[in-house]
């Protein structure tokens, strides 16, 4: 697909996304709960209380008086006065704005605000992602989109199965999920060929070997110092949730690296058909050394960004660095370290697998 065609297709998708976003914003049929809209142009907002804890953290409690018109359901067209208490920090509460659309529920015929209506934001975000995919990848974006949708469906059923088993079959369920994610993603994106098989082999070996090594170390040390109770919103065994998170996290890092190394060596074999095993291995090792550092840094930065809000809250509550690390940072650090081990080992596995199988492929090309 030429650049001009990709640009036109990308803009068409973006325009359709904007139109759909506007339609979804005004639509009231996508929510099982009634939709309401704030009628006020200026919302009455008064200070109720000022709070300050023993560590001099200050906040306020404010109260809004909202006139909400119901746009759907059996209370349609009725206007209700609703009080909304919130804190300016908005850590646990929500501030609402003039003419904002809301999702409400009724308790004994009295409305209660659940959340802002955000479905149009989701639609616009999806359209923007698809538009950028088309502009960057062209026709290949169709396969990428299909892969994401299929993996999302698989992930949904994996979660349902995990809930049904209550976290008792963690290794069987998520181990099978790793295999499915890997094979399906690579077949859809790369096709069923030698490059795909080598990438899948390197990815699966990298994931399970690195996770196995780290799990063995955890067992030998009796998992001392690991605060599983720090897992957020744990509704089942937090240890099983942590291991599932770790296994999927390692897969994401390892598959990215394995794909880069194998694809690069595969392209190299097409340009130079007389490469030896040693030359392929050295080329793969050099490539792995170049991308290994940035990948590990990306993992660390993602973890830091995720952990930043909780770290600030713990420190502002006058907790020590040690306590903050144990309950806000330790699990993320462990997951990052396990993924980093997977990245380092995958350089070896992907390079070795490529050198063994692609050398034979290269020799066949020379013979032909």
Q: Give the pLDDT confidence of 45-70 residue by residue, as tens digits.
A: 999 888 777 777 778 889 999 999 99
pLDDT of residue 169: 84
pLDDT of residue 166: 79
Which backbone phi and psi does 31 adopt, to 5 degrees?
Answer: -115, 135
- How would residue 15 be classed by pLDDT, with cut points 50, 70 and 90? very high
Is the distance from CB of 81 to CB of 67 less than 8 angstroms? yes
Q: Give the pLDDT confidence of 31-48 residue by residue, as tens digits.
A: 888 999 999 999 999 998
Is the distance from CB of 277 to CB of 361 less than 8 angstroms? no
Pairwise CA distance, residues 288 & 260, whole Å? 9
> Within 13 Å and on the Cβ side, how many CA atoms surround 10?
20
- How would residue 325 be classed by pLDDT, with cut points 50, 70 and 90? confident
Pairwise CA distance, residues 111 & 109, whole Å? 7
pLDDT of residue 363: 46
Q: What angle do CA 326, 327, 333 make, to 5 degrees?
A: 60
pLDDT of residue 368: 43
pLDDT of residue 235: 66
- How would residue 83 be classed by pLDDT, with cut points 50, 70 and 90? very high
| 3-class SS of residue 111 | strand
pLDDT of residue 211: 92
User: What distance lies between CA 129 and its chain's CA centroid?
Assistant: 14
pLDDT of residue 191: 85
Q: Give the pLDDT confidence of 259-278 residue by residue, as tens digits.
A: 989 888 888 887 777 777 78
Residue 2 has pLDDT above 80, yes or no: no
State whether the Cα torsion 284-286-287-293 is positive or negative.
Answer: positive
102-106, 243-247, 318-322: which has the highest mean pLDDT? 102-106
Mean pLDDT of the chain: 86
DSSP per-residue letters across 324-363: HIIIIIHHHHHHHHHHHHHHHHHHHHHHHHHHHHHHHHHH
């Amino acid at each position: 697909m030429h650049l001009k065609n990709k640009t036109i297709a990308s803009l068409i998708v973006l325009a359709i996304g904007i139109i759909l976003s506007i339609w979804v914003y005004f639509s009231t049929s996508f929510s099982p709960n009634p939709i309401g809209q704030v009628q006020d142009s200026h919302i009455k907002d008064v200070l109720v209380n000022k709070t300050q804890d023993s560590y001099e953290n200050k906040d306020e409690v404010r109260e809004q008086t909202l006139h909400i018109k119901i746009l759907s359901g059996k209370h349609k067209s009725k206007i209700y006065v609703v009080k909304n208490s919130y804190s300016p920090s908005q850590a646990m509460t929500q501030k609402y704005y003039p003419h904002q659309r809301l999702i409400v529920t009724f308790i004994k015929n009295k409305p209660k605000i659940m959340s802002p209506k955000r479905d149009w934001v989701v639609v616009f975000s999806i359209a923007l992602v698809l538009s950028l995919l088309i502009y960057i990848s062209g026709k290949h974006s169709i396969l990428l989109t299909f892969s994401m949708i299929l993996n999302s469906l698989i992930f949904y059923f994996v979660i349902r199965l995990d809930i049904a088993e209550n976290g008792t079959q963690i290794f069987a369920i998520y181990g099978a999920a790793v295999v499915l994610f890997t094979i399906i993603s690579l077949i859809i994106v790369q096709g069923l060929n030698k490059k795909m098989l080598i990438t899948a082999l390197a990815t699966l070996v990298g994931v399970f070997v690195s996770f196995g090594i780290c799990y063995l170390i955890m067992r030998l040390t009796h998992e001392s110092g690991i605060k599983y109770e720090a897992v957020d919103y744990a509704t089942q065994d937090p240890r099983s949730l942590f291991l599932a998170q770790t296994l999927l996290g390692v897969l994401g890092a390892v598959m990215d690296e394995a794909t880069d190394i194998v694809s690069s060596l595969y392209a190299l074999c097409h340009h130079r058909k007389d490469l030896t095993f040693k030359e392929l291995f050295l080329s793969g090792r050099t490539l792995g050394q170049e991308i290994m550092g940035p990948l590990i840094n990306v993992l660390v930065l993602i973890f830091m960004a995720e952990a930043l809000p909780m770290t600030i809250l713990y420190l502002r509550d006058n907790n020590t660095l040690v306590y903050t690390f144990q309950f806000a940072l330790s699990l993320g650090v462990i997951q990052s370290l396990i993924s980093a081990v997977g990245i380092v080992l995958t350089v070896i596995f992907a390079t070795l697998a490529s050198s063994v199988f692609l050398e034979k492929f290269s020799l066949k090309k020379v013979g032909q």
